[in-house]
Structure 1
Amino acid sequence: MDDRLIKASQVGDIDALYELIWEDDNVLKRIDEKMFVDSPLHIAASFGQTRFAMEMMNFIPSFSKNLNKSGFSPMHLALINGHFELVSLFLHADAGLVRVKGRGGLTPLHYAIKNGNLNFVAKFLLACPESIEDVTVRGETVLYIAIKSDMLEALEVLVRWFQRICHKDALDWLEFIPNWKDEEGNTALDIAVSNSQIQACLILLPFFFLIS
């Protein structure tokens, strides 16, 4: 990638971006044709350059679903680096970005749970309820992520969400999520029990009453 474009992405220089496009109207298209690249949108997301990122989304929306060489999408990068205004704008632009699987099959929802970002756990589920279905390459559901990360408040948010959810697939999720087994054949409750996470087990109890 042109060093000038990298710099413009880092500092959010939209004028420089347009100058580069005037010089070469295929400059962004060539980047989009590559796999696993830090696009200008990835760079802007990492540096929290909100206006530049939104301008880039208008040009090449597909950048938002591409992974860089580290296995992260722009929403992953914005969330991990704490650029929460940008995360919200990504969510508003395309709620499906919550389901983009990065390294290890982890989605932005999984990262929000791992990091205990309860505000975005709730926002992601509200905007894209279907994201509750996504599992990692190790067969971990959202419940596994919360338990293995010892994020009890996130686990509580998930259980309360299941208690309130009104969705055509809700019954399927209630059957699927608690009974799902990871690559080692364990359910989320098995993990909590084996790790002597008593509080996690207690939080899960209302969840299992829902499916009894």
Structure 2
Amino acid sequence: MQKMEMLFQMAQRGDVEELNQLLIKYPLILHQIPLISIHNPLHIASALGHLDFAKKLLELKPEFARQLDAEGYSPMHLACANGHVEIVREFIKVDPHICRLEGREGKTPLHVAVLGGRVVELREMLTNCEGCIEDVTVQKENCFHLAVKNFQCISFQVLLDWAREMRRDEVLNRKDEHGNTILHLAVWKKQRQVLEMLLTNSSSNLEVNAINNSRLTALDLLLIFPSEAGDREIQDILQGAGALKSQDLALNNTTSLSLTRDSPVTNSNSLIEYFRFHDGRDSPSDVRTTLLVIAVLVVTATYQVGISPPGDVWQDDDQVHLAGTSILGTHNLVSYILLVSFNSIGFNVSLYMIGTLTRKFPLQTELQICLFALYVTFNVAVTATSPKSARLFTTVFTSALPTAVPVACGLLQRYGVMGRFRRLFRICRRTS
């Protein structure tokens, strides 16, 4: 194990002479590395730019070039990420197709160079391995998609110039897993510079009216998601290149969009599908944040109803009622009980959601104290405003809910009851 540590330390220093001496003493050391470590000295030398050390390792053990480290990257990925073009050239000499080696999330060294704006490395790989332009990530994003999504305009310009010089314009129309072309992404990211590169003196092969999986063209995206600056110029660029809305293409009358710049979208199943949650597209962090916002809004609304019931409260005592009790509860007990029951359910379920979504957060004890204090004040307020005839029910019902809610939610999920409710709701909505 000590000799392995010495080898990796030599790689950090890039000392070829020490490496030669170590190999004389331990001639099989390079062959033993795969048995001990998931990464090899070539990863270190490539990341740090030690050219001579990397060349020596490639000469002795060329298969090191295809080994992925614990993060899912090969030595060439690391050389591209850090801009060590001479080392990249050495890898290409060993095997030009190593440019297409898939690493983490399907990214190749070419993808890494694009993301880092390493244009010299880009040109080297495109010159020596033309096929690498076809490679896509696990999200089916090619190098053009990655350049646009990550605002790498220089990388995009190099790629675009190469594609047009080599007459490979068809790669500009490739779609990711959501059916988006680079034109969709450029509009979504409001990248006017990219749009001008694409649409100024563009080839006739560029599909300016490609439709994504949500039945939207690039122009549709611009009109649906307007911003304050630059939209008019982008719209002029798109329409100057012949861009249309999906409804104007008349490809499918039953799913076409009714879009204008100054009016809302109506009767659009496509738009509803676009905003609907998609597993794999929407990150768990975004979903949790959205659910927390919704839960807090429901807590706020139901808490307000609890402390200030509809119809207000009596201001004085009487033979029939007491000051501070609900007027609605006195005149219509059934309606009041329904109001309190469902309002309390909404309040407690929202508290349960907040507690579940913030589990293992920092200051967990303090947060639980806050939720408990909120629960107590809500119950006290609801009980205090209840008329005498409903006070016992209100006290028992609101006290039992904290225990009943987690159990009920678990049972509903287990037996798929909520799915049946949703289907029933959709049927009722269609027939109404």
- TM-score interval for Structure 1 and Structure 2 normalised by the shorter chain: 0.7 to 0.9
CA contact (8 A) 2:80 2:121 kept: no
CA contact (8 A) 1:72 1:103 kept: yes
Hey, what does 2:179 align to over in structure 1?
Answer: 185
CA contact (8 A) 2:66 2:98 kept: yes
C-alpha distance in 2 between matches for 1:207 and 1:61: 42
> Which 5+ residue runs of structure 2 have no aligned equivalent?
208-432
Hey, what does 1:31 align to over in structure 2?
Answer: 33
Letter of the structure 1 residue corresponding to residue 161 of structure 2? R
User: Residues 117-128 of structure 1 correspond to what in structure 2 (within 5 A)?
Assistant: 117-128=118-129
C-alpha distance in 2 between matches for 1:121 and 1:81: 13
C-alpha distance in 1 between matches for 2:202 and 2:146: 16
TM-score, structure 2 as length reference: 0.44
Hey, what does 1:116 align to over in structure 2?
Answer: 117
Structure 1 residue 208: Cα displacement? 4.8
Letter of the structure 1 residue corresponding to residue 110 of structure 2? L
Structure 1 residue 139: Cα displacement? 0.9
Hey, what does 1:209 align to over in structure 2?
Answer: 204
Letter of the structure 2 residue corresponding to residue 115 of structure 1? G
Given candidates 9, 13, 31, the residue that maps to 2:15 is 13
Hey, what does 1:196 align to over in structure 2?
Answer: 190
Letter of the structure 2 residue corresponding to residue 181 of structure 1? K
CA contact (8 A) 2:106 2:136 kept: yes
Hey, what does 2:130 align to over in structure 1?
Answer: 129
CA contact (8 A) 1:163 1:210 kept: no
- In structure 2, the residue corresponding to 1:209 is in which secondary structure? coil
Hey, what does 2:426 align to over in structure 1?
Answer: none
C-alpha distance in 2 between matches for 1:15 and 1:120: 28
C-alpha distance in 1 between matches for 2:92 and 2:162: 19
Greater Rg by CA: 2
Moved more, 86-95 or 46-55: 86-95
CA contact (8 A) 2:145 2:182 kept: yes
What whole-Å deviation, never above 9, does each CA across 1:116-175 have from its counterpart, x for those lacking one? 22222222111111100110111111110111111222222222212211xxxx6xx544
C-alpha distance in 1 between matches for 2:63 and 2:35: 10
Are 2:74 and 1:88 equivalent residues in the alignment?
A: no
Count of residue pairs the alignment pairs up: 204
Name the % identity.
Answer: 36
Structure 1 residue 112: Cα displacement? 1.7
Structure 1 residue 59: Cα displacement? 0.8
**RMSD value, Cα:** 2.2
- In structure 2, the residue corresponding to 1:132 is in which secondary structure? helix
C-alpha distance in 2 between matches for 1:129 and 1:185: 24
Hey, what does 2:263 align to over in structure 1?
Answer: none
Structure 1 residue 194: Cα displacement? 2.1
* Greater relative contact order (CA < 8 Å, ≥ 6 in sequence): 1
Letter of the structure 2 residue corresponding to residue 11 of structure 1? R
> Which 5+ residue runs of structure 1 have no aligned equivalent?
none
Hey, what does 1:164 align to over in structure 2?
Answer: 165
Hey, what does 2:51 align to over in structure 1?
Answer: 50
Moved more, 102-111 or 130-139: 102-111
C-alpha distance in 2 between matches for 1:28 and 1:139: 36
Letter of the structure 1 residue corresponding to residue 11 of structure 2? S
C-alpha distance in 2 between matches for 1:151 and 1:68: 26
Moved more, 89-98 or 110-119: 89-98
TM-score, structure 1 as length reference: 0.85
Hey, what does 1:148 align to over in structure 2?
Answer: 149
CA contact (8 A) 1:113 1:145 kept: yes
- In structure 1, the residue corresponding to 2:164 is in which secondary structure? helix
CA contact (8 A) 1:42 1:74 kept: yes
